[in-house]
Every structure is written in C-alpha cells, then in structure tokens.
C-alpha cells in the first residue's frame, strides 16, 4: 500500500491497518525530499531521481492527486451550479431557463411579484405562485 505523505501519515495508516488486523506492506512517499518510508524501518530510503522505482511511486502519487482534484472540482462545480429554482415543484429545466433569461438572475426573480413571474415565457399563474411562495419561505 502506498501512502501519500511522510513518517506521520505512514504511522497513522499502519495503526489503522493493525487495528483492522491487516498486515500489509506499506510505504509512504514524502513529497518534500521524495523520501520513501517503509513500515517497520526507522530511516527513510532515498533513491536517485532517475530511479525507475522512485519514478513509479511518484507517478502513482501524482495520478492519485489528479484523480482527487478532478473529483473535488466536479463536486464543487455541481454544487455551485445548483439553483434554488431546481427545488421548486413544477419548475423543470425549461421554466428555470425561461425565468433566468427573462429576469437575468435569481435575485431579480426573488424580487418579482407573482404577476411578473406569470408573465415570463412558459409560466402560468399557478406555477408563478408556487415559485413566489417557495422563494419567500427561504427568507
């Protein structure tokens, strides 16, 4: 098992594995000096920068970082793209787009009266009333 980090991260991972009753070979790669810590050894191993073994460990670590960052960015993007309008019953993607195009922003939709909301393309008084009430309940 490869751990991203130094001696402290290796120690924490080894402790968890021991608590779980797992005896796996574990190494950690400390980025600052590219030292490799091996479970059960006191001193880190240092390999030449051109070492194929070190380069493999670096590639695995870098790929794990890339994967984690991509997943984090995707989740953050999805959460920021969520509109409160998605939570209003009766307002689907077409009506959301129509309201946002007509008013320009969620803030302006919140300021609108029921009659103004109903006047937007694709809207009717019943859905406009639902939107108005939903957004007022939030405040």
Which domains can be identified in the chain, with CATH numbers?
2-81 (3.30.420.340), 84-138 (1.10.150.20)
Statement: residue 127 has pLDDT above 90:
yes
In tens, the pLDDT along 71-110 reads 888 887 766 656 778 888 889 999 999 999 999 988 999 9
Higher pLDDT, 77 or 61: 61
pLDDT value of residue 76: 79
Average pLDDT over residues 38-51: 92
For tokens 């019943």, what's the residue? 126
Per-position b or e across 100-136, b if 16+ CB within 10 A of its CB: bebbeeeeebeebeeebbbebeebeeebbebbbebbe
Per-residue pLDDT, 79: 63
pLDDT of residue 75: 81
């Amino acid at each position: 098992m490869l751990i991203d980090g130094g001696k402290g991260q290796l120690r924490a991972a080894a402790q968890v594995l021991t608590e779980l009753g797992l005896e796996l070979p574990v190494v950690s790669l400390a980025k600052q000096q590219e030292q490799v810590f091996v479970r059960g050894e006191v001193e880190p191993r240092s390999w030449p920068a051109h070492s194929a073994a070190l380069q493999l460990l670096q590639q695995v670590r870098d790929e794990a970082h890339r994967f984690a960052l991509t997943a984090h960015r995707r989740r953050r993007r999805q959460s920021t793209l969520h509109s409160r309008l998605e939570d209003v019953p009766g307002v689907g993607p077409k009506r959301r787009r129509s309201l946002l195009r007509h008013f320009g922003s969620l803030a302006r939709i919140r300021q609108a009266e029921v009659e103004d909301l109903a006047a937007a393309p694709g809207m009717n008084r019943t859905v406009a009333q639902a939107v108005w009430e939903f957004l007022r309940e939030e405040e």
